[in-house]
Amino acid sequence: MRVSEYALADEDASDLGRVSAPALAEDGLAFVGAGLPALAAPVIEALAHLRLDAERFDAACRLAERNGSSADEELIAAGLVDEATLARTLAGVLGLRFEPIRDDASLLRDARGAFDASERHAKTCDTAMRPRLYLAPRLDRLEGLAERLARAPELAATLRIATLSDIAAKRSAASAAERSTRARLSLAADHNRWSARDVLTPAQAAVAVLVLVALAHAWFAAPRHFWFAAHATASLCALSFTLFRLRVLVGTARAARPRRAPPPARRAEGPAPIYSVLVALHREAAMAEPLAALDWPRSRLEVFFVCEANDPETIMAVEQAIAGEPNFSVIATPRTNPTTKPKALNFALPLTRGDYVVLFDAEDRPDPGQLRAAHAAFEAAPASLACVQAPLVIRNAANGWLETLFALEYAVLFRAILPWLARHGLPLSLGGTSNHFRRAALVEAGGWDSHNVAEDADLGIRLSRLGYRIGTIASPTSEIAPSRFLDWRNQRTRWIKGWCQTWLVHMRDPGLACRQLGPRAFLTFQILFGGMIAASLMHVMFAGHLLTAAYAYLVRGEVYMSAGVLAAVDAVNIALAYAVFILTARLVASPSERPLLGRLWSLWFYWLIVSLAGLRAIGQLFHSPHMWEKTPHREPASGS
């Protein structure tokens, strides 16, 4: 990030970039010192070697005070000095050696034994048992360290200066094995009742066997009555989800009445918190430019691209894309089972320093003001607001039929269903990207379930059970819909399989879940997840029954009262579901999406293939529950 692009468009940031750096000659020290009478000699000497004048350093100090950072962090973030040059200069001023931390040096853990990504020192011991203390000193605290060395010059034998990135990398490498184990097990290690590692608990398996035996007995004893009862139950589940959507439609229509526009998100007073951005990617290109455009102080932003260690092509491409961005880095995740996105996120989370954590996908283009909007939402709410979800908008919606239906589906979800749930304080299923978390709440909840392939949906319910709320904001993220059927099918299979995992996990103790959520929220959970699963599976059954009943009547002349009743119920169910979805889509569609509404006539076929993906998901749930079928995202052609 160059100074001319520096995110904070205020007086201090402008001063930091506006003043030209003079070419200091041998009298440069006197020039700098003349403008900074209050600074200690070591700081003045360092500034002279860095060729930084008084005005720039003063602007960096004011900006650091505003952001809650340090002057050296502001100078590095602005591109006025690189981290290695700064560390080498400080080492020269202090009379210490600047050197990278050796690979064969063992990191000595602090007495507290906790990993802290924000530490600016590292204690090591090499193979010859020689201790070393590596420091990344702050420029504005250089005087104290110089005085300490003057009083105890023998410390110079063990002290070394390193970059903060080098120290962080050493700490990361030292904790990699432990983080890998914890990420692999995640909730299964300490909170197995929350984990989807086992599809069914022994108690659930026993109940399932008893139910299957009872159903088989009913089928053989009275097949026609059994079919009627089973079909009616499925119809009721699907109808409950449709009626829920109808309630959302009415509530969204009321909320959409003209009213005074909300004021733009204001920058909160006081220091800016650190914001950590996690981007999980595998065999895909990283888009660094949209993340570099985020409106947040560069010194308080850290962006991690989380890649698989056995994907060197992606790692190399990302490193090239983020060259020159001091706050962007790559985390290589060990290749261990389960090979899921949540496992990679759990591996990376301990390396973050932020008070807030947000997830993006590789192809995402978040609105530049999204971090500001999320932070404003957190600041305006009590600490019980653990997460806010930004809406996802499909930018290749006009490219084809599949992309169009996917985009309208997203419009209904992110502009109607999720905001309605959030307004009423009800549990909601998070989207897989653009989730902004209070880090403390995320850690308390145990992070993501590495064994759940819809980790976002599960985490939303888990946060609600722990007493937290989830909100929504209007600042969008644009992303790409799958353009090939197989990619779409694999993604939808994973979603439905994950919804099943989530429902089974949170129904291991229905009584406890009801007490934690409350009766109203518990019922919403049943409708939201049970209804989604039923609706995705039953469309094939409804369509098949209608065709079978029509064939029996028109071709064979057979009329069964029960079949006619079920056919009528199915017809009403399907017609009502179509009508509610279409009306909601028309209500929330953006101007660019309105021309695409005409394609909704084929919604019946889209929901039919959703059902086929649902049947595939049920099969995978029992033979490969943790298989993660990665969805490749192909950037639409220019101009589309």
Three-state SS annotation for 273-337: CCEEEEEECCCCCCCHHHHHCCCCCHHHEEEEEEEECCCHHHHHHHHHHCCCCCCEEEEEECCCC
Looking at residues 435-457, what average pLDDT do you find?
A: 96
**Cα torsion angle, 340, 346, 352, 356, sign:** positive
pTM, rounded to two decimals: 0.89
Number of residues written out for the chain:
640
Confidence at 53, pLDDT banded by 50, 70, 90: confident
Q: What is the rounded CA–CA span in Å between residue 121 and residue 498?
A: 42
Strand-pairing partners, residue 394, are 479
Show Cβ contacts of residue 322 under 8 Å, excluding neighbours closer than 6 positions. Answer: 286, 288, 303, 305, 328, 329, 330
pLDDT at 468 over 50: yes
Q: What is the 3-state secondary structure (H, E, C) of 226-280?
A: HHHHHHHHHHHHHHHHHHHHHHHHHHHHHHCCCCCCCCCCCCCCCCCCCEEEEEE
Higher model confidence: residue 269 or residue 113? 269
Predicted pLDDT at 105: 82
- Averaged confidence pLDDT in the chain: 86
Kindly write down the DSSP assignment for every residue of 350-390, as one continuous string: GG---SEEEEEETT-EE-TTHHHHHHHHHHHS-TTEEEEEP
Question: Bigger pLDDT: 74 or 538?
Answer: 74
359 against 235, higher pLDDT: 359
356 — phi, psi (to 5°)?
A: -125, 145
* Domain layout of the chain by residue ranges: 3-81, 97-185
Q: Looking at residues 499-506, what average pLDDT do you find?
A: 96
Locus of tokens 């200091």? 24
The token pair at 227 is 């079919």
The angle formed by the CA atoms of residues 283, 447 and 519, to the nearest 5 degrees, is 125
Place 560 in a pLDDT band, splitting at 50, 70 and 90: low
CA 291 centroid distance within chain: 14
What is the band of 640 on the pLDDT scale with cuts at 50, 70, 90? very low
Q: Which residues pair with 301 in a beta bridge?
A: 275
Please tell me the distance from the alpha carbon of residue 360 to that of residue 327, in angstroms, as a whole number.
16
Number of Cβ within 10 Å of residue 468's Cβ equals 21
Q: What is the mean pLDDT of residues 62-74?
A: 90
Q: Tell me the per-residue pLDDT of 299-344, one tens digit each, with 9 for 90 and over.
A: 999 999 999 998 888 899 898 888 888 899 999 999 899 989 999 9
User: Where residue 32 falls among pLDDT bands split at 50, 70, 90?
Assistant: very low
Secondary structure (H, E, C), 422-480? HHCCCCCCCCCCCEEEEHHHHHHCCCCCCCCCCHHHHHHHHHHHCCCEEEECCCCEEEC
Between CA 412 and CA 390 the distance in angstroms is: 14
User: Cα separation of 538 and 521, whole Å?
Assistant: 24
Q: Is the pLDDT of residue 18 over 90?
A: no
Burial 569-582 (b: 16+ CB within 10 A, else e): bbeebbebbbebbb
Answer yes or no: are the C-beta atoms of 491 and 524 closer than 8 Å. no
Residue 614's pLDDT is what? 93
| Sign of the alpha-carbon dihedral angle for 56, 57, 62, 63 | positive
- Which residues does 589 contact at the CB level (< 8 Å), separation at least 6? 408, 411, 596, 597
- C-beta of residue 540 within 8 angstroms of C-beta of residue 615: yes
- Top-confidence range, 37-41, 48-52, 60-64, 397-401: 397-401
SS3 track for 97-153: EECCCCCCCEEECCCCCCCCCCCCEEEEECCCCCEEEEECCCHHHHHHHHHHHHHCH
Greatest Cα pair distance, the chain, in angstroms, is 106
**For the residues 360-368, what does the mean pLDDT come to?**
94
Residue 460, both tokens = 């939303």
DSSP symbols for 54-66: HHHHHHHHHHHHH
- pLDDT value at residue 28: 34
Query: What is the predicted pLDDT for the residue at 116?
Result: 67
Answer with the residue of higher pLDDT: 543 or 353.
Answer: 353
